Structure 1
Amino acid sequence: MNFIKPIAIAFLLPGLFPLHQASSAVTPEESSVFFRIDTLSWDAPLPFDQEVKTGKLENGFQYFIRKNVEPKDRVTMYLATKVGSILETEEEQGLAHFMEHMNFNGLKHFPKNELVDYLQRAGVRFGSDLNAYTSFDQTVYQLPIPSDDPELLQNGLQVIRDWAQDALLSEEEIDKERGVVLEEMRGGRGAQQRMRDKFLPVMLNNSLYAKRLPIGTEEVIKNFPYDVLRDFHTKWYRPDLQALIIVGDVDVKKMEIDVRRLFADLKSPKTPIERVKHTVPLLGRNQFIAVTDPEMTYTMGQISIKHPEEKMKTVGDFRRNILKSVYNNMLNARLSELAQSAAPPFIQAGVGIGGFLGGLDAYNAYFVAKPNEFELGFKAVVRELERVQKYGFTQTEFDRTVAAIGKNNETAYVERDKKKSDSYVNRYLNFYLEDNPALSNEDSYQLYKQLLPTLTRKEVEELGKEFYVDTNRDIIIMAPDKEKDSLPDEQHVLAWFREVAGDEIAAYEDTVSDLPLLSKEPQAGSIASVKDIEEIKTKELTLSNGVTVILKPTVFKNDEILINAFSPGGTSLYSDEDYFSASQAGNLVNSSGVGQFNTVELRKYLTGKNVNISPYISERSEGLSGHTDKEGLLTAFELIYGYFTESRIEDDIFQSYISRMSSMISNQESDPSFVFRKTIMESLYNGNIRRTPITEQLIQKIDKDRALAIYKDRFADASDFVFTIVGSFTEEEIKPYLEKYLAALPALNRKEQAKDLRLYEPELGFEKIVHKGQEEKANVMLTYYGDYTYDKVENLNMNAFESVLSIKLIERLREEESGVYGTGARVSTNKYPRNRYSFTISFGTGVERYESLIVSALDEINKIKHSGPLASDLEKFKIEQKRQLELSLKENKFWMGQLVGAYQRDEDPTYINRYLEDLDKISIESVKEVASKYLKKENLFKFVLLPDEK
């Protein structure tokens, strides 16, 4: 159960951007042959991937071109520029990021907004496919496009060429974009940003990085002269700081000719400014800072110990990096185990040796404290660090972790010919920007395979001692205002370090089980019948106990098997009194052990196996989902059988779960977004407990025994379960597992259906304004609810309406009125328990503008209701759907979703073969009709979040 996403060092700059570990490798010119494992030496330079064509033009522009047919008829292009906010002067703060925006607002060959318009007409999605980012040291533009259209391919290259140096930077477009960037800045304001502003100078040792956040300052964005931006562009958008990365289904030789022709005339200034490499200095002393905010919802502590950056140039460096991974994995496993104890000392914790910023690496340990128990959490984390310092790791921990890394290496190698182009792009992107090694698939595989057996436990322990020291150490605390009085000062924290170091700390005991997973062998059943669904190369099997199994073998991956199972019922079959126990039952069982293994034993048993099976209970169904490879099939089916017949909720897990859940939500009422969501749900569903967030009081209603009883009831009868298995298997390979495990599942032949709880929104819309938060910003949700005519063509028309309206909202609210950073429409339709729909428009903006923007959004709806969408916008939707379908049909996850959805909704699983026929039926008139039919004034609900009333 993850209350907070695993953080590594993302906590350092919450909500900002990833920090990369910089390292070096040999250049393409220095590496001419594949790495030979038989000449392995620690000092040997890491080889460069020779499967990519590289080159450097006379003007300094570099390129990397690789052919890769996953996916077929697609190519991904990235323009990497070594230009970021760290290069800005005082009067330029925020202009690196602003320049990124301007490259979408007028280029030499694509004036004004023609770039986005042109690419949308080619099926490229703005924001998800077409995108860019700016960080301290770099700006990167991405363009994935179809490669089967020669004209589009050439125009894609032209887009990159224009991005490199031919932004128009017109005064009109600059002024319009000021408002968009200011809204992006406004949207990021909140507790995290306010606290970050306080601790960042400490964390970054008062270096220039602390004063050059990519978003910039409001003063500069509002007022910079046009020529300041143009000068910044001229200074830094130059070929010696740029590289083009192209990976996809292309002719490499022809592409190289085109690149050399198109980019050779890029110019640098006559007297180019030196691109200085900035660093974060080591101060040689320890630092401490505690910051609080009234809207912070939990307390976090971090120990960050900075070290000089370790470049990855040689085989020995690569090996040392593996040692760091082993250390991180072993210590994090211990912290995870501690979090699952009956009285966990913290909600969550983690440790990592890795990259930092500005020429530094760091040893980071973080934890999320329980309310008013910061000392308990801090000492618990430090105690585990000290335990490793004193006693190291056990051999079984070490062997298990090394085996897991080896398994990951084997898995990656098996799938090497199915690797997506994006992964190669990132490989060369990090080589160019971060000086990371760019190893070939073969070299990476062989290095891991050769190096893993050479690692020793002692080396890992020594590495930890080398990094866990008391110099250049920062202690950073973030907490809610109301916990300010219970937080320690620096002297208390230093005393805690001394106290823990002086404690009697016992060595860690690695408890593992040598029992089999299941207590007894299942009594095998049989396959009763087989039905071919030839149109989609799928089979529907009925087992002797009534279980239905859908099999779809594929060749999309070499060794990936997805598994899903569902049965109708879920929490809908239980009373409100039982609701909380029912709703958490699946999570509690999933967090516990199964069969003869407890939680810790199960986690260790699964380490090094590419297997995961998780049970769930939702409102209208219960089931399992997961994945495995062929090697793990036996374990996967044993887990499935175990979750049906040998499930449990362990006392320690239950107490830990309740304790951590209570702690995590104790301050949620301080979060404006939470209060907004809660108010919306309460107003729509009259406070029904199934539609409102859980509270600390309601958590206490969760009963362990009742939760387990409900879980066992839901999984007592497999006869109405539908199992769907998709991936790299044959029918003959999978049949023995179906007979031995699935056909052996208990069957009661109950005929169940989920219950209609009649939890529907009111018939007439209303307006609800919520005041919560310090920042002067407004969040708006405009939602239409109502009954719906559910069928495939109606759904397509609604999806088309969602798409064309989103285009218009971006054009109007963002591009024309400069009032928002992001906006769009979202539709949701349901067949069961009753045909219903919701259609939502959302955006954030300034308090003074939300009312006029609501009027603009409703005006765009009315235009479509009155005249229908523009033919060009509708065509964008159709081509995007066709292009996305081409990709989706070759994805296991897509087929899993299609098949499971069809059986859950009692629909024809072969419909996907007729999808394009129905897509062609969508017209201006049909979209206009659904807009008028469902987006009626009386069905509109307006929800607005505004700041606290003064």
Structure 2
Amino acid sequence: MKKYFSLLMCGLLGASGFSQSLDDILEKQEIPLNSDIKIGKLENGLTYYIKENKEPQERAELYLAIKAGSLQENDDQKGLAHFTEHMAFNGTESFPKNELINYLQKAGIRFGADLNAYTGFDRTVYQLPLPTDDEALFESGFKILSEWAGAISFEAEEINNEREVIVEEERQRGKNVSERISKQLLPVLLKDSRYEDRLPIGEVEIIRNFDHQTLKDYYKDWYRPHLQAVIAVGDFDKDKVEALIKENFSDLKTGENPKKPEIYSIPSNKEPLVKIVTDPEYPYTVASLMYKHPGTSVKTDKDFRNSIMRSAVNSMLSARIQETTQAGNAPFLQAGASYGAYQGGMGDLDAFSIQVVAKTPETLEPAVKGIMDEVLKMKTFGFTQSELDRTKLNFKRAVEQSYKEKDKTASKVYVNQILSNFLKGEAVIDMEYSMDFYNKYLDGITLEEVNQMAIEFIRDDNQIILLQAAESSKEQLPDEATLTDWFLNYTGDFEAYQDEISSIPLLDKELSTAGITSKKKIKELDATEITLENGIKVILKSTDFKSDQVLFQAFSPGGYSLATEDLIQSAKIADNLIASSGIGEFNAIQLKKKLAGKSLSLSPYISTYTEGIKGKTSSDDLETLLKLTYLYFTEPRKDSLIFQNLKDNYKVAIEGKSSNPVAVFQDTINTVMRGKGPWALDPEVDDIENFSLDQAYKFYQSRFRDAGDFTFVFVGNFQNQEVIPHLKKYLGSLPSTGSKEKFKDVGIAPIQGKVNKEIKKGLEEKAMVVLTYHDTYKHNQKNNLQLKAIKSALETRLLKRLREKESGVYSPSVGLSIVKIPNPYYTFSISFNSAPDRADELIEATKEEVDRMIEDGPYEEELQKFIAQEKRQKELQLRSNSYWLSYIKGVYSKSIKRDYINQYEDYLDKLKPRNLKNAAKKYLSVDGQAQLILLPQD
């Protein structure tokens, strides 16, 4: 009887007449909070969330969230919510000035990469990831959060020093074409709302001149416990953590007249809001149409089901647009359409957003009408049952994989869900609940429901129409009325979508099974190495870091260094061409449909000196990945339509670079660091016409026709005895002649001697500076580690000098590039942005710090911070599949010693200031130096 009742219910759930009553039932069912999360509230109103989670091991994520941001600022406080966030790192009651950062860095916590914060319109969030195996350090984390919540010092000197730092942050993040375009669009997107006048970065005049008390008033008004939450997720005892929260936060005072943040909205608009903007540096012609909708959130089962249907519409529409783009003769360069949060969630709104990139300004009309054909086709005919079935299959596979990883999910994932719960009231959906929900309701979602939802995306009001283009194209652009007509009055030129599905097998041939000529255990890697009869070497490392993940990479020496000069530009697009064209009998669209319900990604690549294939999959889909690998070697596909699309995209991108000052500057950097040969430089516009489909295809074949010198690495959750039969079949059947190729030295290396270049291009008051120090050296682990230690110390000093002392730079960066082939060399690259009139003095300050590093080397404290951070990072890396994949590739590429991983801490502990002093002098006192500056045009 129970079985009969279940079948009857399934039938009813699938019937449209039952959908309304199902909605009524689901609307009343609130999604319960994840049962593993402990939530509580202190007497002062502070909320706390605690969840035990073992991934990563011996780590915890501690967050402080405040329901206040830039929207809560008074007129004289614009930018002070963000300023307050900065002051949290410039002194608290127990950690004056920069002692907080200093204390955490000594414990191995990285400022910026680990320790950080951000300010939004309606929130301020602080993040503090900590190890839990150091009890004193872990406990101090709660004290730090509590002092951010209620005991920031606001010392006068620190406030004044930070003013120009924030001005420089605005310069670094903005002062470009994107900011100029945004400033013109935001008054339309945020029309008549508080958002328009409360951007988190604030106003420069206020930042430079506000009274200190005004900043303190913001902190006093909004940093109150009833608006705050402490979030702790990690490898700890939850009862102990709860006690620490109560101990550190119970004394925070709510104060008199506690404020409640006002809810701000963005008004509706009956008539379309239209804006056309141009800029001399904007490289594309981009039109968009948005339909604003009331915001959605997931709190009940009905919300959850609706969110799945919205995702289904997005997925199916995206697939159709992609198909049109790749089908040849598409009227646009790129296009997209999807439903989601409006402008990142502003005003509690959603939007259905349609965007199209035209090939040229002159072809904007067919581009707009081309994307509207797809949208109107969806509205008129809806989707097909086969499209929905395929989407459900993909959704089900994704949720199954998430469920398998429920015990391997990183703590930060849970933190983000909890943040949404505290700030927006969103449900924190338990993995088991999600899996059960999909099993119950996914199959019952009908095509009729999904098509009706898609129709409702398109409405007659709340429309916004935008156009962004190059200033030089003004004469070719439509006026606002014409653009509106193209979007809203076009009735379409289309037929119902036909879902073409191939029934042929992915691999339609019988393969023989090869033998294994050697098999051995690699103790240092805890891996197994096998060699197949055709010469292919395979390294297998089985791990339990993830429950259902297998990473894979195959590699071989050669790359496009082996291309002749007359073929080099076509050779450089060969991998992109093949990866985009599908495989064997399947074009790219057919292949995607064929792989529905599979969890895998795979693509070939060709770099300067190597070629290979890389991807990832699940244990269940590993055989499918190997089938695709076999086909990428033996049956790459040559698609003339894809080739033309690639040419069109390259042309628009390259033509746009000439007007972009940053792109021009980057080309200059590349020339200095790589040389001027055809193998080193990116293609120019003239090169595009010389791209050859046949040459690109033949070059790809030349790189992959002989698999005998390839090494394959697999890392993840699998059993060797289950994998090896597949390897013998699919890899063992790959063609091989037994030859071993070598790459060719094509002269890619930094220009020798001292280089000084100044480029004047661009409209903004912004200087970009790059200083490099480069030379050849002996590549080994000891020298590489010394280079890394010097890089770390130099970055610390430049932060102190350029940001904290000079207040001239927001975030100076020191990069380190280590190259082994064809000839080992290293490059230190110092970069920063500043005001143009301060560039020279800041360059001199930088050189003073470099000279000091040459003279003194890293100090003991700098070295100990580096060692602590390296050891902490290595703990995480050793439980990462991606790290081991990279490491094993390095071993078999002969760039890393096999046993280095086991000796790493010994190498670190042998680092001494006296040795690093000599190393700094050796590596920084070099003839290979470059000073490159980008300044605004005169």
What does residue 43 of structure 2 align with?
A: 58
Contact 1:518 1:596 (C-alpha < 8 Å) held by counterparts: no
Is 1:650 paired with 2:639? yes
For residue 390 of structure 2, the aligned residue among 389, 396, 400 is 400
**1:937 Cα deviation (Å)?**
5.2
The amino acid that maps onto 1:922 is: L
Contact 1:519 1:596 (C-alpha < 8 Å) held by counterparts: no
**1:905 Cα deviation (Å)?**
2.4
What does residue 202 of structure 1 align with?
A: 188
Contact 1:346 1:660 (C-alpha < 8 Å) held by counterparts: no
**1:686 Cα deviation (Å)?**
5.4
What does residue 453 of structure 1 align with?
A: 443
Contact 2:166 2:810 (C-alpha < 8 Å) held by counterparts: yes
What does residue 152 of structure 2 align with?
A: 167
Matches for 1:703-852 after TM superposition, within 5 Å: 703-852=692-841
Q: Secondary structure at the match of 1:169?
A: coil
What does residue 306 of structure 2 align with?
A: 320
Return the alpha-carbon distance in structure 2 between the equivalents of residues 622 and 66 of structure 1: 44
What does residue 12 of structure 1 align with?
A: none
**1:857 Cα deviation (Å)?**
1.3
Gaps of at least 5 residues in structure 2 are 1-21
Structure 1 residues 314 and 480: CA distance shift in structure 2, 3 A:
same
For residue 150 of structure 1, the aligned residue among 131, 135, 147 is 135
Return the alpha-carbon distance in structure 2 between the equivalents of residues 845 and 874 of structure 1: 28
For residue 403 of structure 2, the aligned residue among 413, 419, 422 is 413
**1:448 Cα deviation (Å)?**
2.0
The amino acid that maps onto 2:388 is: F
Q: Secondary structure at the match of 1:209?
A: helix
What does residue 493 of structure 1 align with?
A: 483
The amino acid that maps onto 1:776 is: E
Return the alpha-carbon distance in structure 2 between the equivalents of residues 171 and 797 of structure 1: 39
For residue 130 of structure 1, the aligned residue among 103, 112, 115 is 115
For residue 104 of structure 2, the aligned residue among 119, 125, 132 is 119
**1:205 Cα deviation (Å)?**
2.2
Return the alpha-carbon distance in structure 2 between the equivalents of residues 887 and 722 of structure 1: 26
What does residue 569 of structure 1 align with?
A: 558
For residue 96 of structure 1, the aligned residue among 81, 85, 88 is 81
The amino acid that maps onto 2:851 is: N
Task: Give the TM-score, by structure 1 length.
Answer: 0.94
Q: Secondary structure at the match of 2:614?
A: strand
Return the alpha-carbon distance in structure 1 between the equivalents of residues 525 and 55 of structure 2: 21
**1:350 Cα deviation (Å)?**
1.5
Is 1:553 paired with 2:538? no
What does residue 476 of structure 1 align with?
A: 466
Is 1:368 paired with 2:357? yes
**1:42 Cα deviation (Å)?**
4.1
The amino acid that maps onto 1:335 is: I
The amino acid that maps onto 2:669 is: I
Return the alpha-carbon distance in structure 2 between the equivalents of residues 522 and 561 of structure 1: 23
Return the alpha-carbon distance in structure 1 between the equivalents of residues 212 and 180 of structure 2: 30
Return the alpha-carbon distance in structure 1 between the equivalents of residues 297 and 233 of structure 2: 26
Report which stretch shifted further, 822-831 or 287-296. 822-831
Contact 2:560 2:606 (C-alpha < 8 Å) held by counterparts: yes
The amino acid that maps onto 2:780 is: D
The amino acid that maps onto 1:379 is: K
Find runs of 4+ consecutive structure 1 residues off by over 6 angstroms: none
For residue 221 of structure 2, the aligned residue among 215, 229, 235 is 235
Contact 1:42 1:315 (C-alpha < 8 Å) held by counterparts: yes
Is 1:699 paired with 2:684? no
**1:398 Cα deviation (Å)?**
0.6
Q: Secondary structure at the match of 2:347?
A: coil
Q: Secondary structure at the match of 1:47?
A: coil
Is 1:304 paired with 2:290? yes
Q: Secondary structure at the match of 2:713?
A: strand
Return the alpha-carbon distance in structure 1 between the equivalents of residues 670 and 350 of structure 2: 45
Contact 1:293 1:480 (C-alpha < 8 Å) held by counterparts: yes
Contact 1:286 1:470 (C-alpha < 8 Å) held by counterparts: no
What does residue 5 of structure 2 align with?
A: none
Contact 2:553 2:714 (C-alpha < 8 Å) held by counterparts: yes
Is 1:898 paired with 2:887? yes
Q: Quote the sequence identity (%).
A: 41
Q: Secondary structure at the match of 1:799?
A: helix
The amino acid that maps onto 1:299 is: T
Report which stretch shifted further, 622-631 or 445-454. 445-454
Gaps of at least 5 residues in structure 1 are 1-36
What does residue 593 of structure 1 align with?
A: 582
Report which stretch shifted further, 118-127 or 42-51. 42-51
Contact 1:352 1:365 (C-alpha < 8 Å) held by counterparts: yes
Q: Secondary structure at the match of 2:897?
A: coil
Report which stretch shifted further, 433-442 or 774-783. 433-442
**1:919 Cα deviation (Å)?**
1.1
Matches for 1:62-81 after TM superposition, within 5 Å: 62-81=47-66
Contact 1:344 1:659 (C-alpha < 8 Å) held by counterparts: no
Encode CA deviations 1:728-749: one digit per residue, 9 max, x unaligned: 0111011111110101100012
Contact 2:514 2:728 (C-alpha < 8 Å) held by counterparts: yes
Is 1:222 paired with 2:208? yes
Report which stretch shifted further, 357-366 or 790-799. 357-366
Return the alpha-carbon distance in structure 1 between the equivalents of residues 259 and 550 of structure 2: 54
The amino acid that maps onto 1:197 is: K
Is 1:294 paired with 2:283? no
Return the alpha-carbon distance in structure 2 between the equivalents of residues 325 and 352 of structure 1: 9
**1:450 Cα deviation (Å)?**
1.4
Contact 2:78 2:206 (C-alpha < 8 Å) held by counterparts: yes
Return the alpha-carbon distance in structure 1 between the equivalents of residues 768 and 722 of structure 2: 53
CA RMSD of aligned residues (A): 1.5
Is 1:334 paired with 2:320? yes
For residue 161 of structure 2, the aligned residue among 154, 176, 186 is 176
Return the alpha-carbon distance in structure 1 between the equivalents of residues 662 and 747 of structure 2: 27
**1:483 Cα deviation (Å)?**
1.7
Return the alpha-carbon distance in structure 1 between the equivalents of residues 654 and 847 of structure 2: 36
Is 1:872 paired with 2:861? yes
Structure 1 residues 515 and 837: CA distance shift in structure 2, 3 A:
same
Is 1:272 paired with 2:261? no
Structure 1 residues 50 and 581: CA distance shift in structure 2, 3 A:
same
Encode CA deviations 1:829-888: one digit per residue, 9 max, x unaligned: 122101111111111011111111111111112222212211111000001111111111
Return the alpha-carbon distance in structure 2 between the equivalents of residues 269 and 233 of structure 1: 12
Contact 2:71 2:122 (C-alpha < 8 Å) held by counterparts: yes
Return the alpha-carbon distance in structure 2 between the equivalents of residues 554 and 541 of structure 1: 18
Structure 1 residues 443 and 920: CA distance shift in structure 2, 3 A:
same
Return the alpha-carbon distance in structure 2 between the equivalents of residues 233 and 616 of structure 1: 52
What does residue 26 of structure 1 align with?
A: none
Return the alpha-carbon distance in structure 2 between the equivalents of residues 836 and 656 of structure 1: 37
Contact 2:675 2:751 (C-alpha < 8 Å) held by counterparts: no
Contact 1:340 1:657 (C-alpha < 8 Å) held by counterparts: no
What does residue 11 of structure 2 align with?
A: none
Return the alpha-carbon distance in structure 1 between the equivalents of residues 413 and 220 of structure 2: 32
**1:908 Cα deviation (Å)?**
2.9
Contact 2:175 2:765 (C-alpha < 8 Å) held by counterparts: no
Encode CA deviations 1:296-347: one digit per residue, 9 max, x unaligned: 1212221111112234332111111111000000000011111113223222
Q: Secondary structure at the match of 2:572?
A: helix
For residue 413 of structure 2, the aligned residue among 415, 420, 423 is 423
Contact 2:221 2:258 (C-alpha < 8 Å) held by counterparts: yes
Return the alpha-carbon distance in structure 2 between the equivalents of residues 906 and 386 of structure 1: 55
Return the alpha-carbon distance in structure 1 between the equivalents of residues 303 and 827 of structure 2: 54
Return the alpha-carbon distance in structure 1 between the equivalents of residues 737 and 541 of structure 2: 27
**1:290 Cα deviation (Å)?**
0.7
